[in-house]
Structure 1
Amino acid sequence: MSLSKLVLRSMKKNMRHYYLYFFALIFSVTLYFSFVTLQNNAEVLDTVDQSGTAKAGFAAATYMLYFIVLFFVLYANHLFMKRRSKEIGLYQLIGMTKGLIVRLLAIESILLFVGAIVLGMLAGFFSSRLFAMILLRVLEKEALVTMTFSTEALQQSIVVFAILLVIVLVQMAWMIYRVSLLSLFSASKQADERVKRFSPLQMVVGFLGLVFIAYGYYASTKLFDINSKGNLMLNMIIILATTIGGTFLVFRFSVAFIMNSIRLKKNGHLTARDVLALTPIMHRMKGNAKSLTLITVLTGVSLGFTTLAYISYYSSESSAYSQVPGDYVLLEDKGQEFLKKLEENNIAFDKRDYRLQSVSASFTQLLSESQQNEDNPLFGLDGIIYIIPLSDYQQLVPEASVSDNDVILTNYGGYMAEMFPLEKGRDVVVTPRGPEGTKEEMLHVKEVRHESIISGTVTSGPGGPIFIVPDALFEKLAAHDVPDMWQNQTTINLKNKSDLALAEKLYMQSNGENFIQSYEEERKGNIELLGIIIFTAAFLGLAFLMTTGSILYFKQMSEAEEERGSYTILRKIGFAEKDIMKGIYMKQAFNFGVPLIIGLLHSYFAVKSGWFLFGSELTTPLWIAMSCYIALYAIFAVLSVGYYKKVIRESL
């Protein structure tokens, strides 16, 4: 038989094992080629932004995507080579040299790669327009997207996947040349590590794994706590080390020990479900701890990265409002021409005027007792805080009231409020900004609120605190004002949001000065800044998910083939398919559920520790991202169950 016929027969025989790998490879090429096409599409980039950040973002995403594909292909190829070890051993027994076997498998890999690359590039060419439309939709841009073929994208994709093919061929040749003929017949049954008998020491080590993970989670909640000690980078390294190390120990010892304990309690009275679930779970979890740890960590990292990107994008509106707390904000009595144009065009609006006055205050006095230490950046810091009179604030909150030297602290939000919370009930000394020797005033913080009412331009950034003081106290403090400070803010809110488009046109015509601010302009600026991030993060997260889910599925395919003989015996002694499938359901719930649950927990605590640095909304973005991952993992679990069902039916 010629080598070409042998290649075709071998590919036909193994295609039922390769189809998901082939699909995942096509999907990876499609994503990569689409990103490179977008990176070289001048029309899309000109529409997205003029600064070149989009092109740089796409370039970074393509490099990350390539490393994801590289990891996936090398790991999957390693699994398939282990599965085909007996086949390779038989080739050697019938007299084929290792060099001829390498040529045979190399031709298979080249044909598989060429087919996947061709189909992936075709799909990428047709889907690049869809991706461009999704990107423009995320950025809220209006543009005509045409299908363009990029020779630069074609050349770059061919080069990088040719390099990947060479790496795969080298890996394959290395695996064939370095193993003996005898080891090939047992390679498919080898796990990552040999499974030994359980001992009390392993029980202790498994418990330590849970302790390490719990400590990592606890330390992550204190990572940005101003009262926590130590270097931030060192603390992050410790959290990563304990969490990843604990995950390995859990898979290596804890799960297996729990399954073994359950099995021993049955005193040998094992049902078919126990035989097909408890024992395989015990040994597979323990034997494949390294790969399961890697999959879990990748799941947690990709989900955490995707969630943080989505938090940033989802929070674009609230972030814009903290900077511009109204449809329009006019500072220092500017923008009167803009207001006149609104009236001329019959655009109804509500107007609120705020008088402003700055005072010097010590932030230390606003901190709780536990926060007043030298490690707190606000400790010993004197700064400027703006005050507004109660009567102006009552335009927004009519029921608000303060008297004497009581004040309401408001406008304080964002990451500053999360990291450095200020307490009510504190006394703070303020000094009017005037001549030296100006009399100090002792204020009592009656209440702390977080609504945004003053522009971030005034407070030197969004979320800066302000005091609401009685009118009499405001007049007293304002008597010593120094020149060139912010004195007034006018907040404009349109009564009918359908007038926003026309109002924005008038704003663009009138905004010759920096004293007029638009919430819509600020929001769109945030979206343009964060849209590229969420777009690339979503697709990179999808690529990570395809990688980890596919690898888990490939491992289940291998296990199903290895256990085919056991299913044959069970069917022959009278067990029905539904009885066997009960154990398979439980096994797949563990194989996919445990890495997913631990990965979700890893990502949750990672995101929870510093989400406020990326935005102001946590719950909705987190649940949406997690739901997507759970749904896609469920698809892989269903595919795995379907494959097991097929093997069980064929076993008799």
Structure 2
Amino acid sequence: MKLLDLSWRNVRRNFRIYSIYLISMIIGVVIQFTFSSLIFNEDVLAALENEENFQVGLIAASIVVFLFIIFFILYANTFFMNQRKKEFGMYLLYGMSERQIALMVFVETFILSSISLVIGILTGGLLSKFSGMLLMNLMQYDEVISFTFPLEAIGATIVLFIILTGIISIQSYFSVRRIQLVELFHSGTNLEKLQPASKLLALLSILLLGMAFFLISRDGTSIVWEDYRLASIIVMAIGLVGGTYLFFRQFSGWLLEIVSRGRKYNEGNRVLWTSSLRFSIRGNALNLTSISLFSAAIIILVGFVAINYAVQLDGSTKNFPNDIAFESQDEHIQHQIETLIHESNHPVITHETIEGILVNPVTNRDVAFEQSDYLTEDILLFSETQFNDIVALRGDDQEVNLHGQEAIVLSKIDTPKQFTQDDQSEFTVKVGDESTFHLIERKDYALLGPASNLSNTNVFLHLAIFIISDEAYATIQNSQNTQMYELYQIENAKDASALSAQIQAIVSQSPDIYYSAFADGYAIQAESSALLLFTAAFLAVIAVFALGSIIYFKQLREATDEQKQYAILRKIGVSNTEMKKVIRKKLLFVFLPPLILGMLHSLFIMNYSIFEEVRDFPQLTSIMWAILIIYFVIYFLFYVSSTNLYYKIVNQQK
């Protein structure tokens, strides 16, 4: 009972230090519960087309979330333990054993964990509604998400934080055992020795970074990458990692030395913040390097999935150009389908009927297609006139002009290609007699969208289509394999999942009948890409807080160690306003360089490698600017919070 009393008094007496630790734990609970509650939110699950895939994806991501939370809270606990070294020294001096101190820390951790669980779950329940609404918005759904506290999510959060409490207690116990009594009383008195920076290594850091940026900017088909790919990757990695580390450990120190030798060094407060930085910059080099590299990785990850999300939604229109398309039925079924459409909330905009000829390939399909496994076995032939009419109706600039036995391949899943004399571009099909076509081009264009009812998997089966000249089409037009296709454009097509299901049920009564709907493809692509974006953004926020806390807690520890120095400055007449300026300039030098380097790394890699294939995408620039601005704002808030708390710590009377 006395131990519990002592633990509770410690929490109340040192509330400032405990509050920082408590806030870290509350943030961990909020993140974990918010993410877990989405897995079991009935409103979210009811709106999804692929509920099982959604849950599996979020469960896998929740494991990564928990690992980030462990890192975040254990780092906060390390700071927390270091701040209490002298306190533990007093307990040891008064006769308490290391085991009793560890038990006291366990009780304190249990109290803080209990408080954080209650506050975090309540806050997480509120945020889960916002997160659910955000996810539904990304998926383009209009579902209403209610406030929920799923028992499964509460149970999972409690279990995980019981495990985390145990890990923290073990870490705290070993932290106490590793420190000698003498060290506890001298905690924070050891200052880093001032060592001159190497001009040679400082210049080497710029050389390494420049070399890495040069290799990144080279095209993948350049001789550097084609002939020396492995060596280029190794050199680029060494340049980025080694150059960044030397930049903070040597170049920054060299820059500060130049400033200290300047004529105006003794003017204003420059001498105060530069001298403090010169003592601490080398010790911060590894942390700042990690922050720069992980910042680049976070920006690249979020940038990639954000662009993928926008491209997928935009690509749905191109992959599924017809809102509803199916193989023509008899008059009774056709009338039944048209009645369904007219009675729905999706009026018909246009309705076209096109004719194609189904043929068997004699030549291996790999000659025309790269991914033939995702295509129908037979090939559909359409005339150039029909194709040009549909293209003109859509307003696309894709008309073709063919002669004789020339043919164009249509494929949305293969790389566009111009067939040359060096290619094996002759392709033979059989429809009664054999006909050989000369392939001249493979277009990235969809006349008919993927079939949603011809595959037993979630992967849509694409139609293998050739566009041939009117002359060639006329010679085989009387074939028994002629098929008609009905193409509809309707209003609010993305919300027509219910209508699509009704029509598909009618069409599928006949086996192997082609059916495709924009709503089906849009729902799957929107859900998968939105879930990927939401998860990546969630993980990025956690990672940013974890990385920001590295600087945050490091600076707070330095603030505690520098209380005596700032007390001396106060006694010799330095005003509070001047001390605030010194702190702001010092922390700006710590926060800004890793942020700038991280952004530079990410922009180079994305601009020259990842976004090469989507460079013409109209939203590319705006998406990247939005990500960079959000990232900057988060770190700016860390900077402001750090400067305010730093000042409060050094301004305390000892």
TM-score, length of structure 1 as denominator length? 0.77
Q: Percent identity, please.
A: 23
* Partner residue in 1 for 2:249: 252
Distance 1:354 1:281, change over 3 A: farther
**Quick one: which of 455, 465, 468 aligns to 2:449?**
455
Distance 1:503 1:184, change over 3 A: same
Deviation of 1:523 (Å): 0.6
Q: Retained in 1: the 8 A contact 2:21–2:77? A: no
Query: What letter matches 1:142 in structure 2?
Result: E
Q: CA deviation at 1:85?
A: 2.8
Secondary structure of the corresponding residue to residue 516 of structure 2 = strand
Q: Match for residue 160 of structure 1?
A: 160
Distance 1:239 1:483 in 2: 60
1:222 aligns with 2:220: yes
Residue in 2 that maps onto 1:370? none
**C-alpha distance in 1 between matches for 2:495 and 2:371:** 45
Task: Output the CA distance in 1 between the equivalents of 2:427 and 2:162.
Answer: 70
Q: Which residue number in structure 2 is paired with residue 493 of structure 1?
A: 489
Aligned pair partner of 2:391 in 396, 399, 413: 396
Match of 2:148 in 1: 147
Aligned-residue Cα RMSD (Å) equals 5.0
Q: Which of the residues 304, 315, 321 maps onto 1:308?
A: 304
Kept in 1: contact 2:405–2:436 (CA 8 A): no
Q: Which runs of 5+ in 2 are unaligned?
A: 373-377, 453-458
Asked whether 1:176 is paired with 2:179, we answer: no
* Equivalent pair of 2:34/2:127 in contact (CA under 8 Å): yes
Alignment pair present for 1:203 and 2:202: yes
Q: 3-state DSSP class of the match of 1:517? A: strand
Which residue matches 2:550? 551
Q: Deviations over 1:150-180 (max 9, x none)?
A: 1x44443333222222221222222222122
Matched, 1:627 2:629: yes
Deviation of 1:496 after TM superposition, in Å, equals 7.9
- Residue 198 to residue 138, structure 1, CA distance change in 2 (3 Å): closer
> Unpaired runs of 5+ in structure 1?
367-375
- Compute the displacement of 1:492 (Å): 2.8
User: What number of residue pairs does the alignment pair up?
Assistant: 626
CA contact (8 A) 1:30 1:121 kept: yes
Residue 300 of structure 1 contacts residue 600 of structure 1 at CA under 8 Å; is this kept in 2?
A: yes
**Who is 1:638 aligned against?**
640
- After superposing the two structures, state which structure 1 stretch, 622-631 or 195-204, moved more: 195-204
Structure 2: distance between partners of 1:485 and 1:247? 65
TM superposition shift of 1:483: 7.7
Specify the code of the residue in structure 2 equivalent to 1:171.
Answer: Q
Distance 1:84 1:231 in 2: 51
Contact 2:302–2:540 (CA under 8 A) maintained in structure 1 = yes
Give 1:647 shift: 4.8
Distance 1:327 1:385, change over 3 A: closer
Distance 1:363 1:651 in 2: 82
- Aligned-pair distance for 1:455? 2.7
Residue 562 of structure 1 deviates from its aligned partner by 2.9
**CA contact under 8 A between 1:195 and 1:283: conserved in structure 2?**
yes
- Cα deviation for residue 452 of structure 1 reads 4.8
CA contact (8 A) 1:332 1:486 kept: no
Alpha-carbon spacing, 1:49–1:390, altered in 2? closer, same or farther (3 Å): closer
1:33 matched to 2:37? The reply is: no
Q: CA deviation at 1:618?
A: 4.1
Give, in whole Å, the separation in 2 of the partners of 1:226 and 1:405: 44
Per the alignment, residue 369 of structure 1 pairs with none
The alignment partner of 1:52 has SS state of helix
Check the 8 A contact 1:328/1:493 in 2, yes or no: yes
TM-score, with structure 2 as normaliser: 0.77
Higher RCO (CA 8 Å, separation ≥ 6 residues):
1
Q: Which amino acid aligns with 1:309?
A: V
1:518 aligns with 517
CA shift in 2, pair 1:361/1:583, >3 Å: farther
Deviates more, 1:624-633 or 1:598-607: 598-607
Partners of 2:212 and 2:235 within 8 A in 1: no
Residues 21 and 550 in structure 1, CA contact (< 8 A), matched pair in contact too? no
Equivalence map 1:349-428=2 (5 Å): 349-352=349-352, 388-389=383-384, 392-397=387-392, 402=401, 417=415, 422=417
Q: Paired residue for 2:123?
A: 123
**How far apart, in 1, do the equivalents of 2:541 and 2:223 lie?**
32
**1:360-382 Cα deviation digits (max 9, x unpaired):** 9999999xxxxxxxxx999xxxx
CA distance in 2, matches of 1:54, 1:190: 52
In structure 2, the residue matched to 1:324 is 320
Shift of 1:112: 1.8
- Deviation of residue 70 (structure 1)? 0.9
CA deviations 1:45-68 (Å, max 9, x no partner) are 455356522222232122112111
Q: Which residue of structure 1 lines up, in the alignment, with residue 56 of structure 2? A: 56
Between the aligned partners of 1:557 and 1:451, the Cα distance in structure 2 is 58
Deviation for aligned residue 1:393: 1.6
Deviations 1:111-154 (A, max 9, x none): 2222212322333345445544444444426367463541x444
1:637 is matched by which residue type in structure 2? Y
Are 1:287 and 2:302 an aligned pair? Answer: no
Deviations 1:62-101 (A, max 9, x none): 2112111111111121123223334434544565544444
Match of 1:15? 15
Contact 2:408 2:440 in 1 (8 A): no
Structure 1 residue 26 displacement after superposition? 0.8
Partner-residue secondary structure (3-state), 2:148: coil
Counterpart in 2 of 1:529?
A: 528
Q: Deviations over 1:578-611 (max 9, x none)?
A: 4444443333333222222333344445555346
Counterpart AA for 2:111: L
